[in-house]
Amino acid sequence: MSRIGNLPIPIPAGVEVQIDSGVVRVKGPKGELEQRVHPAMRFERESGTLLVRRPSDERQFRALHGLTRTLVANMVHGVTEGYRKDLEIHGVGYRAQLEGKTLVLSLGFSHPVRIDPPEGITFVLESPTRIGVQGIDKQLVGEIAARIRRVRPPEPYKGKGVRYLGERVRRKAGKAGKVGK
State pLDDT tens for residues 71-106: 999 999 999 999 999 999 999 999 999 999 999 999
Range of the domain at 115: 83-164
Question: Can you tell me the mean pLDDT for 145-164?
Answer: 94
Three-state DSSP class for residue 113: strand
Task: Look at residue 176 in the predicted model and tell me its pLDDT.
Answer: 79
- Higher-confidence residue of 145 and 174: namely 145
Nearest to 121 by CA among 40, 45, 18, 30: 30
- The answer as to whether 100 is a domain residue is yes
Nearest to 129 by CA among 174, 175, 97: 97
Same structural domain, 90 and 68: no
Task: Look at residue 11 in the predicted model and tell me its pLDDT.
Answer: 94
Same structural domain, 72 and 133: no
Same structural domain, 75 and 103: no
Question: Across all residues in the chain, what is the average pLDDT?
Answer: 92
Task: Look at residue 96 in the predicted model and tell me its pLDDT.
Answer: 96
Question: Can you tell me the mean pLDDT for 113-133?
Answer: 95
Quote the strand ranges of 29-63, DSSP E. Answer: 31-36, 42-46, 49-53
Same structural domain, 76 and 146: no
